[in-house]
Amino acid sequence: MHKDHILEEVLTISNDDSIFDVVGKMEIFEDIALKNSNTKLLRILSFHHTYLLITKAVADKTYATNAFKNEQLTQKLDIAFAKKYFHALKAYVLKNEYITPWKSFYKLIDSDNYEPFTSLVAGINAHINGDLGQTLVDVNYFKYSDDFLLVNNILLEALPPVFQYLAYERRDIFGMATLILHELAEREFEKVIVKWRDQAWKNALLIHENKDFIKKVHEKTELIGDEINSLIHFKNGIILPRFLAAFEKLACVVEDTIATSPKKSDDILLLKLTSLTNVGSFLKWKEDKDILLPFREQKNQQIEGKHYLVKICFDEYTNRYFASERIDRYLRIDESRTVFRINQEVEGTVYDISEDGAKVAINDEYKSYVYENDRFKNLDIGHKIKAYVKNIREDGKIDLVLRKPGYLGVISDSTTEVLRILQNTGGFLPYNDKSDPEEIRVKFQMSKKVFKETIGRLYRERKIEITEKGIQLISDK
């Protein structure tokens, strides 16, 4: 009872507590957990210690510098934010109760599958996705978006000591991996934290309009927590691939389970990148106006002068437009399977490329895919292409091929291409039916079989000669 009384006092934040009082209580709770060697309390420390480091950093920043526009309100926000965590922590420690949006986190703490790294991410999810939006509403923080973004930087600066704590104090295998791959770990954590905090701000605006929206936010938070618990689950195996896979899957969770999206405009445009800055890329939008493509909305490597297919979005809070490369969610599919027909010629823009093929926005409106085996030529982000509908799946997704279907279509395209290359290279090419298949594919963007049939046709039409050294264009004279 005496211990419970101490915990009750430590885990209660009063209205008179300062941010430093909160830090002190967090430190006392950590000392109690370490001294009592209570398994459940020790398991909480992966997140608790991380939160302690971040809270200290924010407290020091608000007092030691003039970085914040409203230091007092920022401290008030942090105290109210911590109060929600302490409320759930006290219910679990003293009553063994799970309080939403922390249910999935404490289920993991009690689970046989507990891991320090997983519990850290699950705790971040519960606190940022679940608690932060309502806290922003509670303290009416909406005028200080710049201060809110500044905290992002403080959080990211705290990552190295967090990784060290996981590795050396919690002896966590993923913690060790974060030290080995610190650049990757910091980059991936930045994606997750910034994305979730950005979403929390948007959720706060919706909660402010409709207080019942918090129920949806909590439901989504618990779903994300359950996904985290199932995805980031280390088993015996090679450390490095599993570590990378964990981050990749976590990113999928962030993308697929966010509660809301900002209001969108109707424009999907191919825009040229004009400059790279420390806040993102700028694209040429209108004659006298560029538009920002923030880091969080980027998917591909950013190169000046290159074109990118983007969605023009509108942020109601900042009253500004911004661009997003994450256009999959806005492109349509042919659900009725009547918009397009098999073998139909279409035009589109390449907006994403992977080892398996390329994503193409048909008419910048419908999503489609060109598989690697159907590409036949190199594609790049921003390329405008002509293609042919190969298949319309039952779910309405469209598969494309870059050559006209059928033998005649393939040969017709191939003869035109070979003649074009011959004419541009002085009329001779050192390739024939004995050349290496890979060299042919790289040079002509076609298989060796198609190449042999093509030069055979050109030979019969007396347009080329085939020699031991290669193929020679026959003069029209």
Residue 465: inside a domain: yes
The answer to whether 361 and 352 have CB atoms below 8 angstroms apart is no
- Same domain, yes or no: 159 and 212: yes
CATH, residue 455:
1.10.10.10
What is the Cα–Cα distance from 323 to 87, expressed in whole angstroms? 39
Residue 330: inside a domain: no
Residue 333: inside a domain: no
- Same domain, yes or no: 240 and 119: yes
- Same domain, yes or no: 281 and 248: no
Cα 155 vs. chain centroid, distance in angstroms? 18
- Same domain, yes or no: 161 and 215: yes
- Same domain, yes or no: 152 and 27: yes
Q: Which residues is 473 bridged to in the sheet?
A: 464
- Same domain, yes or no: 76 and 166: yes
- Same domain, yes or no: 175 and 228: yes
Residue 18: inside a domain: yes
CATH, residue 379:
2.40.50.140
Range of the domain at 469: 407-473
Task: Tell me the residue type at 74.
Answer: T
- Same domain, yes or no: 149 and 9: yes
Q: Which of 380, 401, 422 is the last residue of a domain?
A: 401
Residue 40: inside a domain: yes
pLDDT for 395: 84
Residue 280: inside a domain: yes
**Domains in the chain, number:** 4
- Same domain, yes or no: 179 and 279: no
SS3 59: helix
Average pLDDT, the chain: 82
Residue 291: inside a domain: yes
- HSE-CB for 411 with a 13 A CA cutoff: 11
More confident residue, 83 or 66: 83
The token duo for 327 is 């256009």
What is the Cα–Cα distance from 467 to 456, expressed in whole angstroms? 12
Residue 339: inside a domain: no
- Same domain, yes or no: 231 and 276: no
- Same domain, yes or no: 130 and 213: yes
Q: Give the Cα-Cα-Cα angle 462, 464, 465 (nearest 5 degrees).
A: 100
- Same domain, yes or no: 234 and 380: no
pLDDT band at 82 (very low <50, low <70, confident <90, very high): very high
pLDDT band at 259 (very low <50, low <70, confident <90, very high): very low
pLDDT digits (tens, 9 = 90+) for 338-380: 888 888 889 999 999 888 888 999 998 899 998 876 555 678 8
What is the Cα–Cα distance from 10 to 7, expressed in whole angstroms? 5
pLDDT at residue 322 tops 70: yes
The region of weakest confidence among 62-71, 237-246, 418-427 is 237-246
pLDDT for 407: 43
Q: For the chain, give the number of residues.
A: 477
